[in-house]
């Protein structure tokens, strides 16, 4: 294998020539390292297959109390729909109440938001993440029953595979090992997202792809991926805004503005609809700084010591691991690394979250999925120069004066 530092680079058309004495600590943004696509795609495929095997094992071992892939508890908002579409009770276990049940309801009536809203606890909040159920319905136009559940699993699997590819491309672009992408399917948040049919891996894959495309000067592709990312999960916008803060140029501005316009337009459309009121307030994820962390610690401290409930500790492990890795990566690489500001946005987000997206393992592992992916890539890559520094040539010690 060719050492990473010796890989050939491709200089973008129109880039200014380098002086013989140029020496930089990081790769200029007008130099793009080729991606070993065959090896990356093969590694992503194999690691995704392992993730699916882990999902199958987890499904068998947790079905009795977590239910199926789109389970709704007997007192949940979507229970009537689940009982209608699954009269055998396979998607209505007491310990379930997954977010996947809401995405199933949206996918089932994706062209009729008013009908879908009747099965949602918070209609506008759930409907704003439209791309995931829309893709599932496109794959399975019949739109009901086990076929639609399988379609949600297919889209989720594509998200995990895409996350592995995007993470690998991003790492290679930043002069790191391309095989880092194979780690993405092994993150707990990736597997649990498949287990409860949520769009988190797809959102992370699209956001990382947007950042990688921007670094490789494929700016139209970057904006398109960014728009898809925020329509999958609106908090993806924080990653794009953080990266735009690092770029500080016109392409970076459009990478933040384009998705912002798209998600604001979709929000405006949803608020113009006369949707039925949900059972809960539309926003329960945010609160005073660090209040959610205190509640989460109390939650973890009171977890019963039985086989089923100890799984909740996965949330604590992932939250603390990702937070420490995020802080470490920024402290080590500094804010001049391209991924530092996106990581900062995720760390700030964690400060204001309530215990609900932090403490339970099915929530906390998904909440820190982007932070974990970004931190791993940052620690393993030296980065590239910001565009405003491209024209600066630093003479090496061996250059003639």
280-301 pLDDT, tens digit each: 776 788 999 999 999 999 988 8
Q: Evaluate if residue 227 carries a pLDDT over 50.
A: yes
Domain around 256: 34-285
Confidence band (pLDDT; 50, 70, 90) for 112? very high
pLDDT band at 47 (very low <50, low <70, confident <90, very high): very high
Any domain includes 218: yes
Mean pLDDT, rounded, for 39-62: 95
In a domain, 113, yes or no: yes
Asked if the structure places residue 340 within a domain, the reply is no
Q: Is the pLDDT of residue 53 over 90?
A: yes
Question: Between the CA of residue 187 and those of 97, 321, 369, what are the distances in Å?
Answer: 23, 11, 7
Among 316, 315, 327, 326, which Cα is nearest to 365's? 315
> Do the domain assignments include residue 396?
no
Highest mean pLDDT among 16-20, 203-207, 303-307: 203-207
356 part of a folded domain: no
pLDDT given at position 159 = 98
**Would 337 be classed as within a structural domain?**
no
- Evaluate whether residue 176 is within a structural domain: yes
Average pLDDT, integer, range 40-63: 94
Q: What is the mean pLDDT of residues 15-21?
A: 38
Look at the chain and report how many structural domains it folds into.
1
- Which range is least confidently modeled, 110-114, 129-133, 360-364? 360-364
Residue 96 within any structural domain of the chain: yes
pLDDT of the residue at 283: 73
On average, the pLDDT of the chain sits at: 86
pLDDT of residue 96: 62
Q: In this model, does residue 16 exceed pLDDT 50?
A: no
């Amino acid at each position: 294998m060719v050492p990473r530092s010796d890989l050939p680079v491709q200089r973008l058309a129109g880039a200014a020539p380098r002086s013989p004495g140029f020496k930089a600590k990081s790769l200029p943004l007008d130099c793009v390292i080729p991606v070993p696509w065959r090896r990356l795609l093969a590694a992503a495929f194999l690691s995704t297959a392992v993730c699916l095997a882990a999902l199958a094992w987890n499904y068998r071992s947790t079905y009795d109390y977590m239910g199926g892939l789109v389970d709704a508890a007997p007192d949940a908002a979507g229970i009537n729909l689940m009982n209608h579409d699954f009269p055998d009770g396979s998607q209505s276990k007491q310990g379930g109440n997954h977010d996947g049940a809401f995405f199933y309801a949206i996918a089932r009536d994706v062209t009729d938001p008013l009908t879908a809203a009747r099965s949602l606890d918070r209609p506008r909040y759930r409907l704003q993440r439209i791309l995931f159920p829309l893709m599932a319905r496109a794959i399975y136009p019949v739109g009901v029953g086990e076929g639609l559940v399988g379609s949600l699993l297919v889209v989720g699997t594509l998200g995990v595979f895409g996350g592995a590819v995007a993470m690998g491309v991003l790492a290679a672009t930043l002069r790191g090992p391309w095989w880092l992408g194979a780690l993405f399917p092994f993150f707990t948040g990736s597997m649990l997202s498949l287990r409860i049919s949520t769009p988190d891996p797809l959102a992370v894959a699209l956001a990382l792809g947007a950042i990688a495309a921007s670094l490789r000067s494929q700016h139209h592709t970057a904006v398109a991926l960014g728009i898809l990312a925020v329509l999958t999960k609106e908090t993806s916008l924080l990653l794009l805004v953080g990266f735009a803060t690092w770029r500080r140029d016109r392409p970076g501005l459009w990478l933040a503005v384009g998705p912002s316009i798209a998600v604001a337009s979709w929000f405006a459309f949803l608020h113009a609809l006369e949707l039925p009121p949900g059972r809960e307030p539309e926003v329960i994820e945010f609160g005073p700084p660090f209040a959610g962390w205190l509640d989460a610690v109390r939650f973890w401290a009171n977890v019963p010591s039985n086989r089923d409930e100890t799984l909740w500790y996965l949330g604590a492990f992932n939250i603390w691991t990702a937070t420490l890795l995020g802080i470490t990566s920024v402290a080590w690489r500094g804010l001049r690394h391209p991924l530092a500001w996106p990581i900062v946005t995720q760390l700030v987000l964690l400060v204001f979250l309530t215990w609900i997206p932090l403490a339970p393992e099915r929530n906390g592992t998904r909440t820190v999925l982007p932070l974990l992916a970004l931190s791993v890539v940052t620690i393993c890559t030296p980065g590239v120069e910001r565009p405003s520094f491209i024209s600066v040539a630093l003479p090496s010690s061996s250059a003639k004066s």
